[in-house]
Structure 1
Amino acid sequence: MTLEGNILTPEGWFKGELTLRQGRIAGISGTPVDPEDNDAPRIIPGFIDLHVHGGGGADLMEGGDALAVLARTHARFGTTSLLGTSMTASREALLKAFRDAGSVMATPPDRAADILGIHLEGPFINPDMLGAQPPYARPGTLEAFDELDALAPIRVITMAPEIEGHMALIEALAARGVRVQLGHTAATHDQCVEALQLGARGFTHLYNAMGGLHHRAPGVVGAALAHADYAELIGDLIHVEPGAVLAARRAIPHLYVVTDATAAAGMPDGEYRLGEHRVFKQGNSVRLADGGLAGSALTMDVALRNMTGLGLTLSEASRRLSLWPARYLGLNDRGVLAPGYRADIVTLSPNLDVEQVWVAGCPVIE
């Protein structure tokens, strides 16, 4: 199969042809181009979402085929790889959700994003910084981690480093290659720095559910801006205002975008589930009954347009939705368009609307 248009490569934009063969990119040919000079499709790497709870009306914590439903839903909007993301919950609820997620991963759904594993967002968080998480926060142990990891692989975990025993746990998990992120935390700046030195790699939904920046108490946000190489940020421009997005972009070299999407993503306004919570989609936001933000209804194509609307070039926005999350997870077979890489591809109109999506060379949209 051959695709024609403006192709974003590691060397820049080329107008020409991209050839797919057996799920990989077999070749790219063309001449350098400014895509703004023509109306041909924009061909960019598929999006990689490392924080997604739900979509298409399904929430990961429901179990059953929820992970398959959300993976199919987000694929329609250009996401070609993702981490299903859990909520803080009881041990029994987590075991069921992980067992069912593992079953979905064992027989991957078709026309769906590649499910890379699980982002365990809690329960090893600060009970005073729950945000929209249900009240099941508790200290973490390797035994509790291993029990869940045996059912479905945990690639990313969110933790509060200030909880007793968590510094040692951060060091142990980092040594295994798990990406430990600091989030839902009231840690001090120095505690965050210590966690980073022990192997923590990122920050969960930067600015949200963490101590803010004060010039005499820099807190978690200050530690992220001063020391982070990677951090995730919700790209809906509701969780984080544009000025704060741009400040983080300037400070954190590999800031990348996530959706933190709930079951409401890809769905009309109404009531949905987020773990044990009832949440309500109204327009572009998802909120608890008390009005507090509770995840999002965001899809990655909207996040891309939000980022370019802030002044990022399409190539930079693409890196923050594809290349940087791939590199953060240590994935060297995706995130860019180049020969030998997986054929995870999104074709966009000049207005950046999704026209077609390929996951490992298989079309998602008829």
Structure 2
Amino acid sequence: MSTTLFTNARKVDAAGEVDGFWMLVDGDRITATGSTVEAPGRPPVAPPAGDPSGAGGAGRVPDATVDLAGARLTPGLVDLHVHGGGGASYDGDADEIARGLAVHRAHGTTRSLVSLVANPVARLRTSLEAIAELRTRDPLVLGAHLEGPFLSPARKGAHALEHLAEPTAETVHALLDAAPGTVRQVTLAPELPGGLEAVERLVAAGVVVAVGHTEADHDLAVAAFDRGASLVTHAFNAIAGIGHREPGPVVAAVSDDRVTIELILDGVHVHPEVVAMMFASAQGRVALVTDAMAAAGSADGDYLLGELAVTVAGGVATLAGTDTIAGSTLTQDAALRRAMDAARQGSVAAVTALTATPARAIGVDHEIGLLAPGHLADAVAWTDDWHVSRVWAAGRELVDGVAVRS
């Protein structure tokens, strides 16, 4: 495998900011990192240059060097909740999903789940099979997120009522068995018949359960978290807000260090002051997601979300003829900029919410989310105003979201 040395960067990740940062990539993984700039308790370290005694034990000159000329370098962004982009819906076949993924990758999202809206179980099984097939040729896909069908009819949002279902053991197993190992996350309303039992069943199968699209109150949310749920699907949307007498499920999540809280920071779903409050209240546990549908990275117009007609005007997606929000047109780089601007977060906190935190939420933080030895070589270089300049995934540069052939 070839080696690439990245030099002269300003690293920003959950571990902090480091000037003069360099990292050595061997194949798809980071093997060594360091900084040429001295800091308290950290002497400068020169990057490897063929000396067998050098950092990382590099015994040869790297095959390629990328001089970032002082640009910021972050881990690749991670999206736990996204339904499409570039006119492509993730409810389609593997090739259509790949087209949508390329759009988001061009905006810095190197790893993502593929989110599915409520559909008949048979159709969901077909979609899961398509995602499993795609994963055999695209390891950047982390798996599937079933946002439906286990949702409250009263909080269905942009999901077809007729396709909602109760989380019976039979239905849960039918979905998990469609493509074993593909389902990584399930959104579930715990008040549904058998809901708490389903939480335990899914968690036992290695699936991350998110409380969402639910009428659950504070106490029921606490019960779901105690049964193993560890995520909240797009907090404040399709879920009760915070009340002074009934604190609701969001407060239950904030109070529980085991729980990660999704937020959609597009300027529409949640006010940035509320986002700032959540960053302060649940430090290190906010995961920014897009909940993007097919119009992300595309033009205003008419689209489908599952079987539902969606109108996009001014970048805001709503169910046709209503004011019900139907996902977003957000990309993760825009969410990062809003976190630092409108929500007044520092760069480390903002980057963490798009990298290490979502990676930890689904148990892959040992491989992605940091620029550190042993981690997969996913990285994004940024312009001074935090727009994406270059993207690498698993050690390979992406151009327009597609890996460059080496």
- TM-score of Structure 1 vs Structure 2, range by shorter chain: over 0.9
Correspondence 1:312 to 2:339: no
Distance in 2 of aligned mates of 1:313 and 1:252: 15
Q: How has the CA–CA distance of structure 1 residues 242 and 107 changed in structure 2, closer, same or farther, with 3 Å as cutoff? A: same
The alpha-carbon deviation at position 329 of structure 1 amounts to: 1.1
1:213 aligns with 2:245: no
Of 169, 174, 184, the residue aligned with 1:142 is 169
The answer to whether the aligner puts 1:324 opposite 2:324 as a matched pair is no
**Distance verdict in 2 for CA 1:69–1:151, change over 3 Å:** farther
> What are the superposed Cα offsets for residues 163-214 of structure 1, whole Å, 9 maximum, x if unpaired?
1111111112122221111000001111111111111101100000012221
Residues 213 and 239 of structure 2 are in contact (CA less than 8 Å); yes or no, is this contact kept in structure 1?
A: yes
Output one character per residue of 1:36-73: Cα deviation in whole Å (capped at 9) or x when no partner: xx982100000010001111111111234222122212
Q: Greater CA deviation, 97-106 or 46-55?
A: 97-106
CA contact (8 A) 1:87 1:121 kept: yes
How far apart in 1 are the matches of 2:21 and 2:94?
Answer: 43
Of residues 186, 191, 201, the one that matches 2:230 is 201
Unaligned ranges ≥5, structure 2: 40-67, 401-406
What is the CA–CA distance in structure 1 between the aligned matches of 2:373 and 2:92, rounded to whole Å?
39
- Alpha-carbon displacement from aligned partner over 1:80-109 (angstroms, at most 9, x marks no partner): 11000000111232122222222212222x
CA drift at 1:360: 0.2
Q: Does 1:235 align with 2:265?
A: yes
Q: What is the alpha-carbon distance in structure 2 between the residues aligned to residue 64 and residue 75 of structure 1?
A: 16
1:283 aligned to 2:314?
A: yes
TM-score (ref. length: structure 2): 0.84
2:12 and 2:347 in contact (8 A); partners too: no
Aligned to 1:115: 141
Identity of aligned residues (%): 35
* Aligned: 1:180 with 2:183: no
Equivalent position SS for 2:11: strand
Q: Which moved more, 1:14-23 or 1:129-138?
A: 14-23
Structure 2 counterpart of 1:275, one-letter code: G
Task: Indicate if the aligned counterparts of 2:112 and 2:140 stay in contact, CA closer than 8 A.
Answer: yes
8 Å Cα contact 1:62-1:275 kept in structure 2: no
Give 2:300's aligned amino acid: D
Contact kept? 2:265, 2:272, Cα under 8 Å: no
Partner in structure 2 of residue 60 of structure 1:
90
Tell me the CA shift for residue 287 of structure 1.
Answer: 1.4
- Name the amino acid aligned to 2:371: L
- Is 1:6 paired with 2:10? yes
CA drift of 1:227 comes to 3.0
What's the offset of the Cα at 1:11? 5.1
Separation in structure 1 between the aligned mates of residue 84 and residue 32 of structure 2, nearest angstrom: 35
User: In terms of mean alpha carbon deviation, does 15-24 or 131-140 score higher?
Assistant: 15-24
Match of 2:122 among 70, 92, 99: 92
- Secondary structure of the 2:146 match is strand
RMSD (Å), alpha carbons: 1.8
Aligned to 1:127: 153
Q: Using the TM superposition, give the Cα deviation of residue 247 of structure 1 relative to its aligned residue in structure 2, in angstroms.
A: 1.7
The alignment's TM-score, normalised by the length of structure 1, stands at 0.93
Please give the alpha-carbon distance, in whole angstroms, between the structure 2 residues aligned to 1:244 and 1:256. Answer: 14
Q: Which residue identity does 2:399 align to in structure 1?
A: I
Change (3 A) 1:32 1:93: farther
Check the 8 A contact 2:106/2:398 in 1, yes or no. yes
**Which shifted more, 58-67 or 326-335?**
58-67
Taking the aligned partners of 2:11 and 2:249, their CA distance within structure 1 comes to 39
Aligned to 2:372: 338
The answer for the alignment partner of 1:158 in structure 2 is 187
What is the CA–CA distance in structure 2 between the aligned matches of 1:256 and 1:321, rounded to whole Å?
6
Q: Distance between the aligned counterparts of 1:266 and 1:82, measured in 2?
A: 16
Matches within 5 A, 1:39-50: 40-50=70-80
Larger Rg: 2
**Distance (Å, rounded) in 2 between the aligned partners of 1:116 and 1:32:** 37
Q: Deviations over 1:297-331 (max 9, x none)?
A: 10000010010112211111111000011111111
- Pick one of 1, 9, 22 that aligns with 2:27: 22
Q: How many angstroms does 1:151 deviate by?
A: 3.2
Q: Is the 8 A contact 2:276 2:344 kept in 1?
A: no
Q: What is the alpha-carbon distance in structure 2 between the residues aligned to residue 335 and residue 210 of structure 1?
A: 28
Q: Deviations over 1:318-352 (max 9, x none)?
A: 11000011111111111000122110000001111
Map residues 260-299 of structure 1 onto 2, 5 A cutoff.
260-289=291-320, 290-299=322-331
CA change 1:16–1:182 in 2 (3 A) is closer
**2:188·2:213 contact (CA, 8 Å) conserved in 1?**
yes
Moved over 6 A (4+): none
Q: Report the residue type matching 2:141 in the other structure.
A: I
Within 1, Cα distance between the matches of 2:300 and 2:71?
A: 31
Uncovered stretches (5+) of structure 1, i.e. residues with no partner: none
SS in 2 for 1:97: helix
Kindly provide the CA deviation profile for residues 238-267 of structure 1, in whole angstroms up to 9, marking residues without a partner as x: 100011111211222311100001011111
- Alpha-carbon distance between aligned partners in 2 of 1:280 and 1:294, rounded to the nearest angstrom: 9
Q: Distance in 2 between matches of 1:117 and 1:198?
A: 23
